Amino acid sequence: KIPDQYIIQCQHYMAVTGYEGWWIAALIGGNKFIYKYIERDEEIIQYLIKLESDFWKMVEERTPPPLDGSKSSENILKLLYPEAAEGTEIELPEEVEELIVARENIKAQIKKLETKQSEIENKIKAMLKENEVGRTPKYIVSWKTYSRTSIDSEKLKIEQPEIYKKYSRVSTYRKFDVREVK
């Protein structure tokens, strides 16, 4: 099966060139050569033209794409606003309250789901007992013991302050927090 993103790219090429079909070739695993023919699909092409046109209009108008829940949106906000200007405050529009209520509702749903997930995991762990792995006809479940080494930074700071200082580094980040006004 040809991956969707390849089909979309080929449909774009056909939109640009006017061709009725497109050959795509690939080398799988470095040793298996395959090729497939993709026919022109006007419905996909018209949809792509609309998306590309909307995108280009935003470029011309210097309008940034809308923010969503993706890592890309998160990263662009970190890039645009890496640090808060200390001591500053603004009045946010009323619609932010609706967003906050929606966020709180989602957090409550997530908490319920996480509790339910923990309940299910605990039931399975109780069945595993001291065993590391359990099997069903469809699944392999593991509850393994791991160890890790960590440094007691508070103790190191007190007993070896020079070493602590030498290997400490300060990093900055912005913490998002919402609290209700009392």
Q: Whole-angstrom distance between the N-terminal and C-terminal Cα of the chain?
A: 58
Q: Please write the tens of the pLDDT for every residue from 92-144.
A: 999 999 999 999 999 999 999 999 999 999 999 999 999 999 999 999 999 99
Q: For the chain, what is the domain count? A: 1
**Residue 58: domain span:** 4-65
d(CA 34, CA 27): 6
Percent of the chain with pLDDT over 70: 100
The answer as to whether 73 is a domain residue is: no
The answer as to whether 11 is a domain residue is: yes
Q: Are 10 and 23 in contact (CB under 8 A)?
A: no
The answer as to whether 29 is a domain residue is: yes
pLDDT: is 44 or 174 the higher one?
Answer: 44
The answer as to whether 163 is a domain residue is: no
The answer as to whether 103 is a domain residue is: no
The answer as to whether 119 is a domain residue is: no
Tokens 């007190």, residue located = 158
The answer as to whether 175 is a domain residue is: no
The answer as to whether 26 is a domain residue is: yes
Indicate the DSSP class of residue 61: T
> Helix 4-17 crosses helix 42-60 at what angle (to 10 degrees)?
80
Q: Please write the tens of the pLDDT for every residue from 15-41.
A: 999 999 999 999 988 899 999 999 999
Angle at 113 between CA 108 and CA 114, to 5 degrees: 95
Q: Which residues contact 39 (CB under 8 A, 6 or more apart)?
A: 20, 21
**H-assigned helices in the chain:** 4-17, 42-60, 71-80, 95-128, 153-159, 161-167
